Amino acid sequence: MRQKRAKAYRKLMALYSMKFGFRQPYQVLVDSEMCKSATDLKLELVKQFGTVLQGETKPMITQCCIHELYLQGKLRQSAVDLAKTFERRKCNHREAIPGDECITSVVGPTNKHRYVIATQSQPLRAKLRGIPAVPIVHVNRTVMVLEPPSDVTIETKEAMEEKALHPTAPDLKLVGPSTMTEPVHKKKKGPKGPNPLSIKKKKTAEVFSKDNGKGKAKATGLSKQTPEPAKAGQKRKHDQVEHMHPVPAQDPKSNLVTDDQPRPLKKRRRRKLAQVDAAGSDS
Ligand SMILES: [Zn+2]
């Protein structure tokens, strides 16, 4: 089956299932002509039903339809054999009536048993299109076809959807007035505040503005022990840059010290600067 057609059939069966209560295994009422076509064309009927209806199927035949096949004698024995493998649907017609009429009566005005009808009879198909939600299957040459939904089916579906949108008075009564008047607590969506990761850290910024980013300079100087160029102008520039972009301190201990006792640090700073100076001159 072509991809496009398979998709259309899947969609159609979804409509029958969701709007009209069709359930798997789908009950497929097969008429005598369909049995004959299947044996003539050597179609695997049950397998084909499964493919077209896209699910489990249960083929059935009415007493009148199988009687039609019996009447055709030995010539149609293979069709009879096929029909005998299907579940027999009791139609309670004491005298066998023509298959089309039997199927029409079994389907009734609303197809309340939710049958899929597999028939080769043109007049029957035309008649069934007047009843909402009757999936119709027939064989065209060698290809099994599921008819698109009939106009009545679509109208019924739309009417049902329309009705669902406008609840009737008894419906509202069932729901109860309390639920209607109750205030709806809407859960707030979206961000509750700015992204915490994007907020400037105020505390650390203050610390840095106090000691003018010298803590950082100390940390780098100590850890790296690199002979930085000790020229006064460059050094100041470096400090200014750090002041403008305060970075979280690498060593939180140094921050604590800075807050509590700024004086001793300054002394140490100087000592360290001297160290750096010495290192610089060495190289
Ligand atoms: Zn019957």
Instruction: CATH number of the domain at 110, please.
Output: 3.40.50.1010
Q: In this predicted model, what pLDDT tens digit does every residue of 175-218 receive, in sequence order?
A: 766 555 555 666 767 777 888 788 877 765 455 555 554 444 44
Q: Please determine, for residue 144, whether its predicted confidence score (pLDDT) is greater than 50.
A: yes
Q: Please indicate, yes or no, whether residues 123 and 19 belong to a single structural domain of this protein.
A: yes
* Res 216: pLDDT: 46
Buried/exposed code over 165-188 (b: 16+ C-beta within 10 A; e: otherwise):
eeeeeeeeeeeeeeeeeeeeeeee
Q: Please indicate, yes or no, whether residues 108 and 219 belong to a single structural domain of this protein.
A: no
Instruction: Give residue 44's domain range.
Output: 3-158
Q: Please indicate, yes or no, whether residues 148 and 215 belong to a single structural domain of this protein.
A: no
Rounded-to-integer distance, Cα 90 and Cα 188, Å:
59
Calculate helix-pair angle for 151-165, 3-20, nearest 10 degrees: 50
147 part of a folded domain: yes
Q: Please indicate, yes or no, whether residues 140 and 236 belong to a single structural domain of this protein.
A: no
* Res 2: pLDDT: 82
Q: Please indicate, yes or no, whether residues 23 and 92 belong to a single structural domain of this protein.
A: yes
* Res 219: pLDDT: 45
* Res 277: pLDDT: 55
239 part of a folded domain: yes
Strand order in the sheet with 87-89: 87-89, 57-62, 26-30, 115-118, 136-140, 143-146
Q: Which pairs from 230-238 meet CB under 8 Å and 24+ separation?
A: 230/276, 230/277, 230/279, 230/280, 230/281
Please give the residue that has the higher pLDDT: either 186 or 153: 153
What is the percent of the chain where pLDDT is above 90?
Answer: 54
Ligand 1 mean position, distance from CA 67 (Å): 9
Q: What is the mean pLDDT of residues 207-233?
A: 48
39 part of a folded domain: yes
Q: Please indicate, yes or no, whether residues 144 and 209 belong to a single structural domain of this protein.
A: no
Please give the residue that has the higher pLDDT: either 53 or 217: 53
Phi, psi of 19 (to 5 degrees): -95, -30
Please give the residue that has the higher pLDDT: either 151 or 189: 151
Ligand 1 mean position, distance from CA 70 (Å): 14
Q: What is the mean pLDDT of residues 133-145?
A: 95
Q: What is the mean pLDDT of residues 2-28?
A: 95
Ligand 1 mean position, distance from CA 201 (Å): 85
Q: What is the mean pLDDT of residues 70-99?
A: 94
Ligand 1 mean position, distance from CA 66 (Å): 9
188 part of a folded domain: no
CA 161 → CA 130, 151, 164, 171, distances in Å? 20, 15, 5, 15
Query: By the 8 A CB rule, do 153 and 134 touch?
Result: yes
Ligand 1 mean position, distance from CA 156 (Å): 28
233 part of a folded domain: yes
Q: Please indicate, yes or no, whether residues 126 and 76 belong to a single structural domain of this protein.
A: yes
Reported as half-sphere exposure (CB side, CA atoms, 13 A), residue 133 has a value of 23
Q: Please indicate, yes or no, whether residues 22 and 116 belong to a single structural domain of this protein.
A: yes
191 part of a folded domain: no
Q: Please indicate, yes or no, whether residues 16 and 95 belong to a single structural domain of this protein.
A: yes
Ligand 1 mean position, distance from CA 229 (Å): 107
Q: Please determine, for residue 3, whether its predicted confidence score (pLDDT) is greater than 50.
A: yes
180 part of a folded domain: no
220 part of a folded domain: yes
CA 275 → CA 83, 232, 237, 263, 268, distances in Å? 105, 14, 19, 19, 10
Q: Please determine, for residue 261, whether its predicted confidence score (pLDDT) is greater than 80.
A: no
Q: What is the mean pLDDT of residues 44-51?
A: 94
Ligand 1 mean position, distance from CA 98 (Å): 8
Average pLDDT, the chain: 79
Query: By the 8 A CB rule, do 265 and 215 touch?
Result: yes
- Which tokens belong to 39? 């044996």
Ligand 1 mean position, distance from CA 69 (Å): 13
Give residue 269's pLDDT band: very low, low, confident or very high (50, 70, 90).
low
Q: Please indicate, yes or no, whether residues 115 and 237 belong to a single structural domain of this protein.
A: no
How many structural domains compose the chain? 2
Ligand 1 mean position, distance from CA 220 (Å): 98
Q: In this predicted model, what pLDDT tens digit does every residue of 100-138 receive, in sequence order?
A: 999 999 999 999 999 999 999 999 999 999 999 999 999
Q: Please indicate, yes or no, whether residues 147 and 11 belong to a single structural domain of this protein.
A: yes
- Which of residues 158, 184, 212 is at a domain's end? 158
- Which of residues 158, 181, 207 is at a domain's end? 158
Q: What is the mean pLDDT of residues 130-158?
A: 95
Q: What is the mean pLDDT of residues 49-68?
A: 96
Q: Please indicate, yes or no, whether residues 13 and 93 belong to a single structural domain of this protein.
A: yes
* Res 268: pLDDT: 56
Ligand 1 mean position, distance from CA 108 (Å): 12
Q: What is the mean pLDDT of residues 255-265?
A: 49
